[in-house]
């Protein structure tokens, strides 16, 4: 897990959307889910990934303990790019979850989180015509 959780200090400008793939009611048996009362920082989009035009979806499997903390991580579906997979796992490892409920008690269980990396649409530069020069 060391390589998955290696610090990535690059800041990205691309979009990383976060979607949990499981949901449930707190009053009945339910799988773990993202605890929205805590921050869920979006993953950094690695600079090298942006420069190389890398984008895609990462499905991160998260084993959430009965306290709502990620205990284990695995890449269930790779984006095809190790740097994006690592950035997604690193971000999810910092999140808080509502633990699974089984028979009325909190329990450890697996859930999945989908992280989407998408390059921003390039902005076309606008050039001003210098004074005295014709268009």
Q: What is the CATH number of the domain that holds 113?
A: 3.30.2420.10
| Domain annotation covers residue 84 | yes
Q: Residue 131's pLDDT band (boundaries 50, 70, 90)?
A: low
Torsion of the alpha carbons at 82, 87, 91 and 92, rounded to the nearest 10: -20
Residue burial 72-99, b: 16+ Cβ < 10 Å; e: rest:
ebebeeebebebbbbbbbbbbbebbbbb
Per-residue DSSP letters for 16-34?
A: EEEEES----TTS-B--EE
DSSP symbol at 106: E
Q: How many domains does the chain have?
A: 1
Q: What is the mean pLDDT of residues 88-109?
A: 97
Residue 126's pLDDT is what? 72
Per-residue pLDDT tens digits for 24-65: 444 579 999 999 999 999 999 999 999 999 999 999 999 999
Per-residue DSSP letters for 52-64?
A: TT--EEEEEEEEE
Q: What is the C-alpha to C-alpha distance for residues 26 and 65, in angstroms, rounded to an integer?
A: 16
| Domain annotation covers residue 7 | no
Per-residue pLDDT tens digits for 57-87: 999 999 999 999 999 999 999 999 999 999 9
| Domain annotation covers residue 134 | no
The parent domain of residue 113 ranges over 15-118
Residue 123's pLDDT is what? 73
């Amino acid at each position: 897990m060391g390589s998955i959780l290696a610090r990535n200090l690059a800041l990205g400008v691309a979009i990383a959307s976060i979607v949990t793939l499981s949901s449930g009611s707190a009053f009945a048996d339910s799988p773990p889910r993202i605890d929205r009362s805590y921050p869920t920082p979006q993953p950094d989009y690695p600079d090298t990934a942006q420069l190389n035009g890398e984008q895609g979806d990462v499905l991160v499997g998260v084993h959430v303990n009965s306290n709502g903390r990620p205990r284990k991580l695995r890449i269930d579906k790779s984006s095809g790019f190790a740097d994006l997979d690592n950035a997604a796992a690193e971000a999810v490892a910092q999140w808080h979850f509502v633990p699974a409920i089984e028979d009325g008690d909190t329990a450890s269980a697996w859930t999945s989180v989908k992280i989407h990396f998408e390059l921003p649409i390039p902005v076309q530069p606008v050039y001003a015509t210098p004074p005295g020069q014709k268009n």
